[in-house]
Structure 1
Amino acid sequence: MTVTRPARLTGAALCAALALIAAVWILKDLAVLGSPADLAWYWAGDHHFLIRGRSATSLVDPVLLAVSAAAAVAALRSRHAASALAATGTVTLALRLPGLWAPGTGALVTALLALALAAGLIVTAAAGRRPVTASYEQPATRPRTGPAVAAGALLAVSALLVVLWELYWATELPLEITVDRFTGGRSVIKAALAPPPGWLSLVLLALYGTAAVAAFARARHSRAFALLAGVFLAAGGLAEVARTARYELVGRLGDLPAADLLAVLNAYVGLLAGLAVLALLAGRGAPAAAPAPYPPAGMPPPAPPHPPPPGW
């Protein structure tokens, strides 16, 4: 399956609009905080230095900005960008949905715009598909078996870690706070545009699990979903690694409680797993099977077998 040129142009425009929304909010936060380094540390989870204002964005916003820009470029350059457009639209839809009930007019307006654009992106990716008919067109390639299985295993382990951490927090926190982590209640302090932490975990669990299953099956759309999962996995791991380095936690691992030690190890595992998934699936896929050769023009058909088989 390929994507028609009008659908590709429409998808690129929708992705550009999604990237513009994230860019506007990031520029607004830069104007409030006055320092790109402070904003980056806020995205990494360090909120102790904020005395001049509070960021409205979170780590999700620069990741969505990069993902939307990459999807727009893919739509302009490739006839096989349907999976990239669909993956970007689905993840954006899921991450911006909590903005509908978040406090603040800005979060609500942003959520409405992003949801409309993301839904349009999914519809465009589905409606713009067409089968490969011309002989010079090649279908999207499948990922190679070895890299696909390795990436699927890393994503499956990452999904399992998300489940284990949510089970840990469910046992450590009161029921009210546990519910607020998924709904964005008053007990959860977060950036205005950020999804609730439990909701984010559910989205990442669905993304990692879907990408892992698609990678194991070597589906043609697996590369787009796995690369998207790798970006989120690497970005989250990088943020956690930067925060642990800022507080010099690595040098005193022996003094840390068990939960903090596991959190530090999880950060490095997430960063390395995300980078590995990107490296495994960023290359070319398996070559398509060569079509059966045609006999040269003017050549007679092959002679029947002799002696002929029964019923020839």
Structure 2
Amino acid sequence: MTVTRPARLTGAALCAALALIAAVWILKDLAALGSPVDLAWYWAGDHHFLIRGRSATSLIDAVLLVVSVAAAVAALRSRHAASALAATGTVTLALRLPGLWTPDSGALVTAFLELALAAALIVTAAVGRRPATASYEPLPTRPRTGPAVAAGVLLCVTALVVALWELYWSTELPLEITVDRFIGGRSVIKAALAPPPGWLSLVLVAVYGTAAVSAFVRARHSRSLGLLAGAFLTAGGIAEIARISRYELVGHWADLPTAEQVGVVSAFFELLAGITVLVLLAGRGAPAAAPGPYPSAGMPPPAPPHPPPPGW
């Protein structure tokens, strides 16, 4: 399947609009905090300097900005960008949905706008598809078997780790806080645009699991889903390791409780898994199968007609 040129241009424009919204909010936070370094530390989980200002964005906004720009470039350069457009629209829709019940008016308006753009992006990717009938329109290549299986295993393990951490917090925290982690509430401190942490975990488990299944079956769209999952994995791992370095948790390993030790190991695994998935799925795909021989190739010539016509 390919994407028509009008659909590609429309998808690129929608992705550019999503990226622009995220960029405006990030610039607004930079003006409030006064330092890109402080904003980066806030995204990594260090909120001790909030007396100088409060950030409305989170690491999710930065990742969505990069993903939207990448999808816009893919739509302009490739006729096979339907999966990239659909994946970008779907993950944006899922992550911005909790913004509909946020008390912040600016975040609420942003959520409505981004949900509309994300829905339009999904519709554009679906309606703009057409079969590749011409011989000069090759289908997108599938990932090679080895890298696809390895990426699928890493994504499956990561989805399991995220699910187990959410199960752990649900048993350690009171029921009210556990509910707030999924639907938002006063007991959860987060940026205005950020989804609740439990909701984010559910979305990430769905993204990692879907990307893993598509990688196992070597679907043609597995590269777009895998790179999207790898981007979230890598960004989350970088943020966690930065926080670990900030508080020198590795240097005090023996004094850490078991949960903190497991968290440190999970952070390093998350970063390594994310980078590995990106490398495995960004490489060259498997070569397309050569077309089969013509029906007459390798077959004996037909028998002469009987009786033979004159001059045979």
Q: Distance in 1 between matches of 2:204 and 2:284?
A: 26
CA distance in 2, matches of 1:104, 1:62: 20
Moved more, 252-261 or 33-42: 252-261
**Structure 2: 5+ residue stretches without partners:** 304-312
TM-score, scaled relative to structure 2: 0.95
Q: Deviations over 1:226-274 (max 9, x none)?
A: 1100000110010000010111111121111000111111110000000
**Residue number in structure 1 paired with 2:136:** 136
When the two chains are superposed, the root-mean-square deviation of aligned CA atoms in Å is: 1.6
Q: What does residue 250 of structure 1 align with?
A: 250
- Note if 1:201 corresponds to 2:188: no
1:304 Cα deviation (Å)?
Answer: 4.1
Structure 1 counterpart of 2:310: none
Percent identity, aligned pairs only?
80
Take 1:19 and 1:137, find their aligned partners in 2: how far apart are those partners? 30
Q: How many residues align?
A: 303
**CA deviation after TM superposition for structure 1 residue 221, in Å:** 0.7
**Counterparts of 1:216 and 1:281, CA distance in 2:** 12
- TM-score, normalising length from structure 1? 0.95
Answer yes or no: is 1:75 the counterpart of 2:105.
no
Equivalence map 1:113-128=2 (5 Å): 113-128=113-128
Mapped partners of 1:204, 1:162: distance in 2: 8
Letter in 1 for 2:31: A
Q: Distance in 1 between matches of 2:59 and 2:295?
A: 58
State how far apart, in whole Å, the 2-side matches of 1:302 and 1:90 are: 55
* Alignment-mate amino acid for residue 301 of structure 2: A
**Aligned counterparts of 2:212 and 2:264: Cα–Cα separation in 1:** 24
Distance 2:34 2:193 in 1: 19
Distance in 2, Cα, partners of 1:58 & 1:286: 37
Paired residue for 1:309? Answer: none
2: CA distance, partners of 1:302 / 1:223: 44
SS at match of 1:51: helix
Within the candidate set 296, 301, 304, 1:303 is matched to 301
TM-fit CA distance, 1:52: 1.1
Deviations 1:54-105, CA, capped at 9 Å, x for gaps = 0000000000000000000000000110000000000000000000001111
TM-superposition CA deviations, 1:140-191 (whole Å, max 9, x none): 1111000000000000000000110011001100000000000001111110
Distance 1:262 1:222 in 2: 30
| Alignment-mate amino acid for residue 111 of structure 1 | A
Match of 1:42 in 2: 42
The AA in structure 2 aligned to 1:303 is: P
AA of the residue aligned to 2:174: P
Does the C-alpha gap of structure 1 residues 295 and 199 become closer, same or farther in structure 2, counting only changes over 3 Å?
closer
Q: Distance in 2 between matches of 1:125 and 1:159?
A: 27
- C-alpha distance in structure 1 between counterparts of 2:285 and 2:162, whole Å: 29
CA distance in structure 1 between the aligned counterparts of 2:269 and 2:13, rounded to whole angstroms: 36
In 2, distance between residues paired with 1:109 and 1:186?
Answer: 20
State the 1:302 CA deviation: 4.4
Match of 1:260 in 2: 260
Structure 1 runs (4+) deviating above 6 angstroms are none
Matching residue's letter, 2:246: R
Q: Distance in 1 between matches of 2:112 and 2:76?
A: 26
Amino acid at match of 2:217: A
